[in-house]
Amino acid sequence: MPTVVEPKLIAGNANRPLAEAIARRMSLYRGMSVGLVQARVERFNDQEIFVEVYENVRGEDMFIIQPTSNPANDNLMELLIMADALRRSSASRITAVIPYFGYARQDRRTKARTPITAKLVANMMVEAGIERILTMDLHAAQIQGFFDIPVDNLYASPIFAIDIKNQFADLSDVMVISPDVGGVARARELAKRINAPLSIVDKRREKPGEIAEMTVIGDVTGKRCIIVDDMCDTAGTLCKAAEVIMDHGATEVHAYISHGVMSGPAVERVSKSVLKTLVLTDTIQPTGPVSSAPNIRVLPTAPLFAQSILNIWNGTSVSSLFETDTLGPIYEGIL
């Protein structure tokens, strides 16, 4: 088997700009050109997915860059079929770089006769030949335990902390808000990084998709509040939480969200809401309306993913990138 001389990247169609940005950052870090492996990932007339890899990958350390965002089923199948193609082409190791892990909300049985789809997806990935997962801000951290292969779960909070310190000259009146009780750990992590107090919005639902009541736990009077969450889908909860926080005396409300799903009326809701800014990452490719919305900004994740891929390839620590001292130089001049 030939010696592996460099990591090789291949990308599906889910977020091609992010894959190309990761390749550019890796080229910068290594001082040599790192490109995407030439391949075609296309559909037949009946929408069956077909993959053909044009370059030799025998014995190579392969990284497939493919978030499983909308359309989730198509993008998931692209990932699985690319993994199968690489395995049958004798790649030495296949790592799936999944910036946004779809189906993560189905991580447990919420009632009788319902599936645990996140576990099913994990089984499919392993069966397809994937040997390692690199992702960001899993909706439920326990999904890492669904795999019998290594899973590296990166966090957006260090990137958010760097951006907040650059955007807010004075942090003395900043407060971090968790939009629900389940997100307290995520919000606490960011609050600790920027040395800010923490508050919680407690919400009660009459039925799925509808919020009956919201209560703010903590004093937000006179504070510039930052809501932090892992994803924004239709933005209903986010915009309602921002209104409630403003009603309780906050001076302004911002939001930092890891994954901008932004389905349906989300962009329109955010544009008309009291939110001063909504900050997303590019784990999901921003749509035209998202990119043109006046109060939405998108932060790049390519520097973090590029360095993580190099660390995995080199066999060095990925968790070291969770520290601001390590991540700061990577993002210097970017945020």
Active-site positions? 203
Q: Is position 234 annotated in a ligand binding site?
A: yes
Helix (H, G, I), strand (E, B) or coil at 196: coil
Sole residue written with tokens 């809501």: 227
Binding residue per annotation — 307? Answer: no
Element (H, E) at 246: helix 236-247
Task: Give the HSE-up count for residue 54: Cα atoms under 13 Å, Cβ half-sphere.
Answer: 7
Confirm whether residue 277 is marked as ligand binding: no
Bridge-based pairing of strands 49-53 and 39-43 is antiparallel
H helix count then E strand count, the chain: 10, 14
Angle among Cα 50, 98, 288 to the nearest 5 degrees reads 80
Q: Characterize the bridge pairing of strands 224-232 and 213-217.
A: unpaired
**Residue 47 annotated in ligand binding:** yes
247 is in an annotated binding site: no
Calculated CA dihedral for residues 286, 75, 124, 150, nearest 10 degrees: -40
Query: Per the annotation, does 110 bind a ligand?
Result: no
Q: Per the annotation, does 95 bind a ligand?
A: no
Beta bridge partners of 198: 176
236 has binding-site annotation: yes
Q: Is 180 annotated as a binding residue?
A: yes
Laid out side by side, the sheet with 198-204 consists of: 213-217, 198-204, 174-178, 224-232, 252-260, 275-281, 296-299
Is there a binding annotation on residue 235?
Answer: yes
Annotated binding residue 139: yes
Q: Which residues are annotated as a binding site for D-ribose 5-phosphate?
A: 205, 229, 233-237
Q: Which residues are annotated as a binding site for ATP?
A: 46-48, 105-106
Q: Which residues are annotated as a binding site for Mg(2+)?
A: 139, 180
Q: Which residues are annotated as a binding site?
A: 46-48, 105-106, 139, 180, 205, 229, 233-237
